[in-house]
Structure 1
Amino acid sequence: MSMFTLPVFLRRHVLFTLLNLAGLAVGIAAFLLVSLYVAEEGTVDRGFAHADRLYRVGSQLNVGGQSIKLTFSPDDLAESLRQEVPEVEAVTRVEQDRVMLGAATRYFEQRVLWADPDFLRLLDYPLERGDPALALARPDGVVVTRELARTLFGDADPMGRTIEVRHGPALTVTGVLAPLRQSHLVFTAIAAEAARGDKSWAHAKPRAWSDISGVTTYVRLAPGASAAAVGAALPAFVNRHNPPNPDKAGGGMDNMVSLRLDPVPDIYLRVKALGTVAGGDVGTLQVLGGVALLILGIAIANYTNMATAQAITRAREVGIRKLVGARRRQLVALFTGEAVLLAAIGTVAALALMELARPAFQGLVGRDVSLAPLPRGWLLPLLLATPVLVGVLGGFYPALVLSGYRPGEVLKGRAQAPGAGRVRAVLVVAQFAVSIALMVATFTVQRQVAHVQAAGLGYQPDSLYLISNLPVDLARAATLKAEVARLPGVRAASLSSLVPAAESESLSSFDLPENTRSTLRQARGIASFTADQDFFATYGARLVAGKGLPAGWKPAEVDEDKPRYLILTETAARRMGYAKPEDAVGERLSINSEDPTEVAGVVADMRFQSARRADLPLMFLIKASGEHLTVRLAAGDQRATMAAVNAVVDKPYPDAEYLRRAFADERIESLYQSERRQARVFAAFGGLAVALANMGLFGLTALTAARRTKEIGVRRVVGAKVPDIMGLMAWQFTRPVLLANLVAWPVAWWALHQWLLQFTVRVDQAPLTFLAAGAVALAVALVTVAVHVIRVASAPPVAALRYE
Structure 2
Amino acid sequence: MHHLLPAFLRRHALITLLNIAGLAVGIAAVLLMLAYVVAELRVDRGFTAADRLYRIATTLTVPGQGAMLAAGSAPQMAAPLMAEFPEVEAATRIHQDQVVLKVGDRPFEVPLLWADANLLQVLDYPLARGDAATALSRPDGLVVSPELARRLFGDADAMGRVVQTRDGTPLTVTGVLAPMAETHLDFTAIAADAARGPKSWARQTVEDWSQPTINTYVRLRPGVSVDAVRARLPDFLDRHNTLSPRLVKLALRLDPVGDIHLHVSALGDHKPGGDMAMLRILAGVALMILGVAVANYTNLATAQAINRAREVGVRKLVGARRRQLVALFMGEAMLLSSVATLLALALVELALPFFQDLLGRPLPPDVLRQAPLPLLVALTPVVVGGLGGFYPALVLSGYRPGEVLKGRAQPPGAGRMRAVLVVTQFAVSIALMIVTLTVHRQVEHARAADLGYRAGELYTLGRLPLGDARAATLKAEVARIPGVRSVSLTSLVPANQSRATLSIRPPEGAAGAGGDQRVPLAWFMVDEDFITTYGATLMAGSGTPTGWKPEAARPDGATEYALATVEATRRMGYAHPQDAVGRSFRFLDSDPPTRIVGVLADMRFRSARERPEALLFTVGGEASFLSARLTPGDQGGAVAAIDAVVRRLYPEVEHWRRGFAQDQIAALYAGEERQAKVFALFSALAIVLANLGLFGLTALTAARRTKEIGIRRVAGARAWDIAWLMTWQFARPVLVANLLAWPLAWWGLHRWLAQFAVRVDQGPGTFLAAGALALAIAAATVAVHVLRLTLAPPAGALRYE
Bigger shift: residues 266-275 or 624-633: 624-633
Change over 3 Å in CA distance of 1:258–1:370 after alignment to 2? closer
Percent identity over the alignment is 60
The equivalent residue for 1:285 is 279
Counterpart of 1:374 in 2: which secondary structure?
helix
Counterpart of 1:398 in 2: which secondary structure?
helix
Unaligned runs of 5+ residues in structure 2 are none
CA distance in 2, matches of 1:658, 1:314: 72
The equivalent residue for 2:64 is 65
- After TM superposition, list the pairs within 5 Å mapping 1:531-610 onto structure 2: 531-556=526-551, 558-559=553-554, 564-591=560-587, 594-610=591-607
Change over 3 Å in CA distance of 1:386–1:181 after alignment to 2? same
Change over 3 Å in CA distance of 1:30–1:764 after alignment to 2? same
The equivalent residue for 2:610 is 613
How many angstroms does 1:463 deviate by? 2.1
CA distance in 1, matches of 2:555, 2:333: 77
Please tell me whether the aligned partners of residues 730 and 786 of structure 1 are also in contact (alpha carbons under 8 angstroms): yes
The equivalent residue for 2:180 is 180
Please tell me whether the aligned partners of residues 506 and 519 of structure 2 are also in contact (alpha carbons under 8 angstroms): no
* CA-to-aligned-CA distance 1:741-776 (integer Å, 9 cap, x gap): 111111101110010001111110121111110111
* CA-to-aligned-CA distance 1:376-423 (integer Å, 9 cap, x gap): 321122111111111111100000110011101111111101211111
Please tell me whether the aligned partners of residues 53 and 220 of structure 1 are also in contact (alpha carbons under 8 angstroms): yes
Counterpart of 1:568 in 2: which secondary structure?
strand
- Which amino acid in the other structure matches residue 261 of structure 2? Y
CA distance in 2, matches of 1:4, 1:345: 12
The equivalent residue for 2:196 is 196
Change over 3 Å in CA distance of 1:107–1:245 after alignment to 2? closer
The equivalent residue for 1:157 is 157
Please tell me whether the aligned partners of residues 308 and 396 of structure 2 are also in contact (alpha carbons under 8 angstroms): yes
Change over 3 Å in CA distance of 1:635–1:194 after alignment to 2? closer
CA distance in 1, matches of 2:798, 2:725: 19
How many angstroms does 1:65 deviate by? 3.5
The equivalent residue for 1:27 is 26
Matched, 1:265 2:262: no
CA distance in 2, matches of 1:89, 1:473: 41
How many angstroms does 1:553 deviate by? 2.7
How many angstroms does 1:657 deviate by? 4.3
Please tell me whether the aligned partners of residues 733 and 785 of structure 1 are also in contact (alpha carbons under 8 angstroms): yes
Change over 3 Å in CA distance of 1:241–1:153 after alignment to 2? same
How many angstroms does 1:104 deviate by? 2.0
Bigger shift: residues 398-407 or 585-594: 585-594
Please tell me whether the aligned partners of residues 137 and 192 of structure 1 are also in contact (alpha carbons under 8 angstroms): yes
CA distance in 2, matches of 1:4, 1:158: 57
CA distance in 2, matches of 1:164, 1:560: 44
* CA-to-aligned-CA distance 1:138-187 (integer Å, 9 cap, x gap): 12111111111122222222112212111152111111100122111111
TM-score, normalised by the number of residues in structure 2: 0.96
* CA-to-aligned-CA distance 1:88-133 (integer Å, 9 cap, x gap): 1111111111111122222201111111111111100000111111
CA distance in 2, matches of 1:515, 1:5: 89
* CA-to-aligned-CA distance 1:638-664 (integer Å, 9 cap, x gap): 444444544554444444442333221
CA distance in 2, matches of 1:661, 1:241: 38
Matched, 1:785 2:785: no
CA distance in 2, matches of 1:739, 1:170: 72
Please tell me whether the aligned partners of residues 518 and 578 of structure 1 are also in contact (alpha carbons under 8 angstroms): no
The equivalent residue for 2:406 is 412
The equivalent residue for 2:744 is 747
- Which amino acid in the other structure matches residue 50 of structure 1? A
Matched, 1:476 2:475: no
- Which amino acid in the other structure matches residue 277 of structure 1? H
CA distance in 1, matches of 2:631, 2:44: 47
Change over 3 Å in CA distance of 1:203–1:236 after alignment to 2? same
CA distance in 1, matches of 2:655, 2:242: 38
Counterpart of 1:128 in 2: which secondary structure?
strand
Matched, 1:525 2:520: yes
The equivalent residue for 1:758 is 755
- Which amino acid in the other structure matches residue 697 of structure 1? L
The equivalent residue for 1:138 is 138
Please tell me whether the aligned partners of residues 530 and 620 of structure 1 are also in contact (alpha carbons under 8 angstroms): yes
* CA-to-aligned-CA distance 1:19-66 (integer Å, 9 cap, x gap): 000000000000011001100110100110001000000001211132
* CA-to-aligned-CA distance 1:517-569 (integer Å, 9 cap, x gap): 54464434321111111212222222223222223433226459988211111
Bigger shift: residues 239-248 or 713-722: 239-248
Change over 3 Å in CA distance of 1:746–1:234 after alignment to 2? same
Please tell me whether the aligned partners of residues 168 and 196 of structure 1 are also in contact (alpha carbons under 8 angstroms): no
CA distance in 2, matches of 1:599, 1:588: 6
CA distance in 1, matches of 2:676, 2:176: 40
CA distance in 1, matches of 2:709, 2:11: 24
- After TM superposition, list the pairs within 5 Å mapping 1:350-749 onto structure 2: 350-370=344-364, 372-512=366-506, 518-519=512-513, 521-556=516-551, 558-559=553-554, 564-591=560-587, 594-623=591-620, 626-749=623-746
CA distance in 2, matches of 1:24, 1:403: 23
Counterpart of 2:728 in 1: which secondary structure?
helix
How many angstroms does 1:710 deviate by? 0.7
CA distance in 2, matches of 1:5, 1:316: 23
Please tell me whether the aligned partners of residues 145 and 177 of structure 1 are also in contact (alpha carbons under 8 angstroms): yes
CA distance in 1, matches of 2:731, 2:196: 73
Change over 3 Å in CA distance of 1:650–1:244 after alignment to 2? closer
Change over 3 Å in CA distance of 1:599–1:518 after alignment to 2? farther
Counterpart of 1:76 in 2: which secondary structure?
helix
CA distance in 2, matches of 1:36, 1:461: 39
CA distance in 2, matches of 1:4, 1:188: 53
The equivalent residue for 2:221 is 222
CA distance in 2, matches of 1:137, 1:659: 29
- Which amino acid in the other structure matches residue 190 of structure 1? I
The equivalent residue for 1:235 is 234
How many angstroms does 1:5 deviate by? 9.1
CA distance in 2, matches of 1:555, 1:621: 11
Please tell me whether the aligned partners of residues 702 and 786 of structure 2 are also in contact (alpha carbons under 8 angstroms): yes
The equivalent residue for 1:253 is none
Please tell me whether the aligned partners of residues 478 and 625 of structure 1 are also in contact (alpha carbons under 8 angstroms): no
CA distance in 2, matches of 1:186, 1:417: 61
- After TM superposition, list the pairs within 5 Å mapping 1:322-337 onto structure 2: 322-337=316-331
Counterpart of 2:184 in 1: which secondary structure?
coil
Runs of 4+ in 1 over 6 A off after TM superposition: 560-563
CA distance in 2, matches of 1:315, 1:560: 100
How many angstroms does 1:242 deviate by? 2.1
Change over 3 Å in CA distance of 1:515–1:750 after alignment to 2? closer
Q: CA RMSD in A?
A: 2.1
* CA-to-aligned-CA distance 1:689-743 (integer Å, 9 cap, x gap): 1111111101011111111111111111122222111111100000111111111
CA distance in 2, matches of 1:532, 1:266: 42
Counterpart of 2:222 in 1: which secondary structure?
coil
Matched, 1:85 2:85: yes
Bigger shift: residues 115-124 or 157-166: 157-166
Counterpart of 2:524 in 1: which secondary structure?
strand
CA distance in 1, matches of 2:180, 2:239: 40
Change over 3 Å in CA distance of 1:579–1:275 after alignment to 2? same
Aligned residues: 795
